[in-house]
Amino acid sequence: MPSLHTARLNTKARGLRVLGVDPALAGATGYGIIEFVGSTPRLVRFGSFKLPARATLAARLYEIHSLIAQLVAEFTPDAVAVESVFTALNIRTALKLAEVRGVVLLAAAQASIPAHSYSPREVKSSVAGYGAASKQQMQQMVSSALGLTEVPEPADAADALAVALCHAHLARAHERMDAATSPTPVVFVSRGVIRNTQTLRNRIRAARILES
């Protein structure tokens, strides 16, 4: 059965919104949604979903896909971030967990939302600054980053929030880098008309060619 926590939101102000997912095979699949207002991340929703131990793999895949599709439809995230398969798992478990990740990626693709994968070490390094941080440390860091009064429970949901934060940090860093390195055309006003200097340069070049 799903467990969840939803924060009260000011829908008038919305920045980057990310759905993070911590997929699980036998245990609970965690999910968490965050968004930025300016440079501050805030919680939208987090929770976990776990089926009875007797549930078949097909039933698990169906329910997890339905859950992610519902969250995507309700909260319209800008991106879905998923934790990648842990390399230390045995091959059989890793393959089954890859199928769980597959239905998460499918739900994102069906909604035309970009999906990104991050290893556990990448997530821990981004959020806690330490690639071998414990679950308790990650819960504390996630709680601090989102300004929560209590650590998010269960740990699977905290892991999902950490995945979302990891992607958001990287995406915002790329945006800042692009803004710093991309030349910004100078815009000025002439006789009440806003003109782009790059457009004017092109027109000047064309005029010189005609004159020659």
- DSSP for 75-107, written as a single string: H--SEEEEEPPPTTS-HHHHHHHHHHHHHHHHH
Nearest alpha carbon to residue 113 among 18, 21, 36: 18
If asked whether residues 93 and 196 sit together in one domain, one would say no
- Nearest C-alpha neighbor of 20 from the set 51, 39, 41: 41
Considering the domain architecture, whether residues 151 and 174 belong to the same structural domain is answered as yes
Start-to-end Cα distance in the chain: 77
- Together in a domain, 188 and 167: no
Q: How far is it, in rounded angstroms, from Cα 108 to Cα 68?
A: 8
Range of the domain at 100: 2-181
Query: What is the pLDDT, as a whole number, of residue 26?
Result: 80
If asked whether residues 129 and 209 sit together in one domain, one would say: no
Residue with more model confidence, 168 or 11: 168
pLDDT digits (tens, 9 = 90+) for 126-153: 999 988 899 899 999 999 999 999 999 9
How would you label 45-82 residue by residue, b for 16+ Cβ within 10 Å and e otherwise?
Answer: bbbbbbbeeeeeeeebbebbbebbbebbeebebbbbbb
Shared domain for 51 and 143, answered yes or no, is: yes
Question: 98 and 200, same structural domain?
Answer: no
Residue partners of 208: CB distance under 8 A and separation at least 6? none
Give 175-212 pLDDT, tens digit per residue. 777 777 766 554 444 333 434 434 434 543 544 444 44
Separation between Cα atoms, residue 185 and residue 170, nearest integer Å: 26
Residues annotated as catalytic (active site), given as ranges: 22, 83, 156
Q: What pLDDT is recorded for position 211?
A: 47
Q: Is-contact 171 34, C-beta < 8 A?
A: no
Supply the pLDDT for residue 130. 87
In the numeric block, which tokens belong to residue 148? 């929560």
| Whether residue 206 sits in one domain with residue 175 | no
Alpha helices in the chain (DSSP H): 57-75, 91-110, 120-128, 135-146, 155-181, 197-211
Other beta carbons within 10 angstroms of residue 29's beta carbon come to 25
Residue 174 has a pLDDT of 77
pLDDT tens, position by position, 43-93: 999 999 998 889 999 999 999 999 999 999 999 999 999 998 766 568 888
Looking up residue 154, the CATH number of its domain turns out to be 3.30.420.10
Query: Do 32 and 7 contact (CB within 8 A), yes or no?
Result: no
For residue range 9-45, list pLDDT tens digits in order.
444 456 899 999 999 888 899 999 999 888 889 999 9
Q: What is the pTM of this model?
A: 0.78
Q: How many domains does the chain have?
A: 2
Are 101 and 155 within one domain?
yes
